[in-house]
Structure 1
Amino acid sequence: MFRLIGEHLRSEGMSVFRINFCAGDWLHWHGTGCSSFKGTPSDWPEFIESFLSCNGITDLVLHGDQRIYHRAAVAKAREKGIHVAVTELGALRPGWMTLERNGLSTLSHFPDDPDAIRGISDSAGPVDLSRMFPSSFWLQTAPDVVYNLLNVFLAPLYPAYERHTIYPPISEYARGAVRLFGEKARTTQAEQDIHHLQAAGTRYFVLPLQLEGDFQLRSHSPYDSFAQVLESVFGSLAEAAPAETHIVLKSHPLDVGFENWAAVVEELTAKYGLNGRVHYLDGGGLAAPFSEAAGVVTLNSTAGLEALQAGLPVKTLVPAHYDIEGLTHQGDLAGFWHAPHQPDADLLNAYVNALALTTQVRGSIHNSDGVRVAARNIAARVAARALNPFGAYVDPPPRLEKARKLGVPL
């Protein structure tokens, strides 16, 4: 996608540069305007500062703002007044990519004021929200496998490269392959478990698990592991929730099994005396658990936005992008178990509309047509400096102060 973005920008007469950090980067994009950084991460800040100045860089475009090299690049670019454009997978998946100015999530400049959001939606007009560019399993997995295995086997070419992921790629892929063989059985079991729970008329909340390597956990929360999130939620459930209230935990679809979540859940269930009230689904999707849930508890997952769109009350443990008064439960978790706040449907429609018009672009890196559309749309926004348009840029980032008070290390 980034190579195609570069081609679009060059066709408009702009100079385009690319810095590669590893063999996988080189495979995706090499040639004119490309260079390689082969120093250590500690050498990088000085290198990028010099690179930005010597090449007269006006715009920095990157995927994600919390990766090892990206954090320093963003900091140096902002010091120099360089325009920063950050991409990420879309909040309105499938068929969308996120494109924001300066930062994402806790660092997003998108407003959190309901009136401002309604104003953006009203002034910008309606947007087509139809589903497009469905994800391809092979485009999610094959390029990732090729990229990371190339980095393993050609590591001597970039000896100081430090990857941003937390697991060794070969071990991760081996575990993922093993889990694929059991996917059908796990899904069947999950469907049976949630059916029995619903048939019994049990009142339950859903907690979607997030990946240990997710920057939403690593950078945008005060927790070191999702096990700490579970401990916090289980403690509150035991202390403050009605005795008949249960919780359903849903594994992440991309979890390959480095963490034994079933064992963690069993241990915490016993620790907090929640026997019979905790249900771990290691398969299936969220639609079935959501269908009769009393609400959803989440750290800051995009699953929370899916839950809001399904009409469910949502409580975030840290300021997620959609954690807005009128949408999410603003009280504490103890109160949420008893009286979860229902989302304002009109505000939700305005939020989704405003989001789609300002920080989302059509396209997808997991669809062969979608990647070309995404590249074209992102290039057009970058060239026009049309990031966070229609007044969707608030400075400082409106979620940051609240997040820092909770211990988020940003």
Structure 2
Amino acid sequence: MKSVLLLQGPLGPFFKHLSQFLNTKDINVHKINFNGGDTCWHCTGTTAFYTGSLPEWRNYLSNYINTHNIDTLFCYSDCREYHAVAREYCLKNNIRFFVFEEGYLRPHYITLEQNGVNAHSPWFGNLSKQLPNGSTEHVKHKLDIKPNFKRRIFYAMRYYLNLQLARPKFRRYVHHRHRPYWQEGLAWLKGWYTKYTHIAKDEALQQQLINKHSGHIHLVPLQVADDFQIRTHSVFNDVADSITHIINSFAAYAPKDDVLVFKHHPMDRGYTHYREQINKQAAELGVSQRVFYGFELSLPDLYRHCKGLVTVNSTVGLSALFHHVPTITLGKALYDIPGLTTQGTLAMFWRSPQPVDVTLFKQLRAFLLQHTQLNGSFYCEPQKTCESIWQHLEQKAVPAIKLAPSLIVVPKTQRHVADKNKDQEVA
């Protein structure tokens, strides 16, 4: 690894820290900025600004990679429009392509995989063959990641403010979230407000669910509205489309004493609100008294009272499996494996959710920790996180990372003694 290219990273200074770390390894670091938000945290090394159109991006990338002898590329998420083009190019031209993503196992881990994540992961569709007879060791994380939502609010507001201010320079930029830029920063403030105004209300709702419906709760953790897991790796157009499908199926096939509970995604509080849609559809189907919706419900506290969990392909499914909650996925999920998730239809799941093979889940967790998960964070502990990344790259990168050997400078006194001893040996 001699020359690295960074595209868009997580919101915040993580790629700045990564560039500094790679620079200490005598690696040439290049960073391409696509909008004003990308310029907020300056990276060590060479910085370029892409102001062309999306159709022109592939040719620009090819020229940049060839001109600067790029051998490795890093980005956050592999489905963003520019990153999808980069992934295709790198795979065809044998350039290492590494993707960061939020941890499959949260909150103490981040994901780093070569060639893709989630349904683009090299392990997707192959885990059922990899896990049997595998390790079940439960490795405890060393780095304890604390909640950092307020810090992420600040990063997001700074990013989107600068994105908006620099629009004239990057006027042809295509953002992966298809809404006006100014709404993004405001949405994070709104999300903070929504969180704290729903805590008491949702605590009461949760207690009501536990008291009246324990053992009959079907939990649906919603995903971010424009999640690429929905847009790229499922049959649904968006989250609202998946909600419609789930309520229709529940009303038609679920036992009459079961209830359906939708939990809003914490990172989507300021962007969307599904109460009107859910209430209207539930009323039309005659299940208003059996369908609930909340923002600040505690998943770990609800798991023990759940009959099952329904998701499209959220990583919350892994958390549910960890708590032995029967789970079904409606999209492409890395952990959708016979023995772990229900393999039948949603109509069958309401009445006969398949139990979780606890041993198989332990094998899955151990496998993911060994091959895809790093104990660290994009928003805190940058040095330790970068050290974990480097260790992972040394062990997993293909082709293997080869660094030039460091020159050992021998002091003059030691050279004199060595030369003298050599002369004596010759004599």
TM-score of the superposed pair, with normalisation by structure 1: 0.87
Equivalence for 1:165: 177
Matches within 5 A, 1:287-326: 287-326=300-339
Equivalent residue in structure 2 for 1:139, among 145, 148, 151: 151
**Mapping of residues 222-237 of structure 1, within 5 Å:** 222-237=235-250
Matched, 1:58 2:71: yes
Residue 18 of structure 1 aligns to a residue whose secondary structure is strand
Distance 2:399 2:200 in 1: 43
1:141 to 1:176, Cα distance in 2 relative to 1, 3 A = closer
After TM superposition, give the deviation of residue 230 of structure 1 in Å. 1.1
Instruction: Please list every run of 5 or more consecutive structure 2 residues that lacks an aligned counterpart in the other structure.
Output: 1-13, 401-427
1:47 alignment partner, SS class: helix
Among candidates 128, 144, 148, match of residue 114 of structure 1: 128
The CA deviation at 1:380 is 3.6
Of the candidates 164, 180, 187, which is equivalent to residue 199 of structure 2? Answer: 187
Q: Partner of 1:221 in structure 2? A: 234
Give yes or no for the alignment of 1:15 onto 2:37.
Answer: no
Instruction: Give CA deviations for 1:289-345 in whole Å, capped at 9, x if unaligned.
Output: 323011100111111111111111111101211111111111111111111111111
State percent identity of aligned pairs.
27
Q: Secondary structure at the match of 1:150?
A: helix
2:386 pairs with 1:372: no
Q: 1:387 to 1:217 in 2, by over 3 A?
A: farther
**Partner SS for 1:66:** coil
Contact 2:103 2:111 in 1 (8 A): yes
TM-score when normalising by structure 2: 0.84
Is 2:363 aligned against 1:350?
Answer: yes
Following superposition, the deviation at residue 100 of structure 1 comes to 0.6
Whether the 8 Å contact between 2:112 and 2:372 is mirrored in structure 1 is yes
Q: Is the 8 A contact 2:19 2:45 kept in 1?
A: no
Residue equivalent to 2:6: none
Q: Counterpart of 2:28 in 1: which secondary structure?
A: coil
Task: Work out whether residues 30 and 46 of structure 2, in 8 Å CA contact, stay in contact via their aligned partners in 1.
Answer: yes
Instruction: Give a deviation string over 1:323-382, Cα, whole Å, max 9, x none.
Output: 111111111111111111111111111111110111011210122x2x222222223433
Q: Distance in 2 between matches of 1:388 and 1:96?
A: 25
Structure 1 unmatched ranges of 5 or more: 390-410
Contact 2:160 2:181 in 1 (8 A): yes
Aligned-partner residue type, residue 382 of structure 1: L
Within the alignment, does 1:238 sit opposite 2:251 as a pair? yes
The alpha-carbon deviation at position 179 of structure 1 amounts to 4.7
Give the corresponding residue for 1:200: 212
SS in 2 for 1:84: strand
Worse-superposed segment, 133-142 or 336-345: 133-142
1:328 is matched with which residue?
Answer: 341
Aligned partners of 2:141 and 2:375 also within 8 Å: no
Rounded to whole Å, the distance in 2 between the matches of 1:238 and 1:136 is: 38
How far off its partner does 1:31 sit?
A: 5.6
Other-structure match for 1:386: 397
In structure 2, relative to structure 1, the CA distance for the partners of 1:165 and 1:189 (3 Å cut) is same
Q: 8 Å contact 1:311–1:343 — kept in the other structure?
A: yes
Supply the distance in 1 between the matched residues of 2:98 and 2:188 (Cα, whole angstroms): 32
In structure 2, do the counterparts of structure 1 residues 184 and 55 end up closer, same or farther at CA, with 3 Å as the change threshold? closer
C-alpha contact 1:299 1:316 (8 A) present in aligned 2? yes
Distance 1:183 1:57, change over 3 A: closer
Query: Shift of the alpha carbon at 1:175?
Result: 4.2
Assess if the C-alpha contact under 8 Å between 1:212 and 1:218 holds in 2. Answer: no
Range moving further from structure 2, 246-255 or 19-28: 19-28
The residue type equivalent to 2:209 in the other structure is L
CA distance in 2, matches of 1:170, 1:10: 35
Letter in 2 for 1:43: E
Q: Which amino acid aligns with 2:264?
A: S
Q: CA contact under 8 A between 2:327 and 2:341: conserved in structure 1?
A: yes
SS at match of 2:306: coil
Summarize the Cα distance change of 1:236–1:77 in structure 2 as closer, same or farther, 3 Å threshold: same
Indicate the residue corresponding to 1:249 in structure 2. 262
Q: Matched residue pairs, number?
A: 385
In structure 2, distance between residues paired with 1:50 and 1:259: 40
Shift of 1:387: 6.8
Moved more, 230-239 or 135-144: 135-144
Change (3 A) 1:200 1:32: closer
Whether the 8 Å CA contact 1:39–1:160 is kept in 2: the answer is yes
Q: Could you list the per-position Cα deviations for residues 258-308 of structure 1 after superposition, in whole angstroms to 9, with x for gaps in the alignment? A: 433110001111232222111111333322332301110011111111111
- Structure 1 vs Structure 2 CA RMSD: 2.3
Please tell me whether residue 128 in structure 1 is matched to residue 140 in structure 2.
Answer: yes
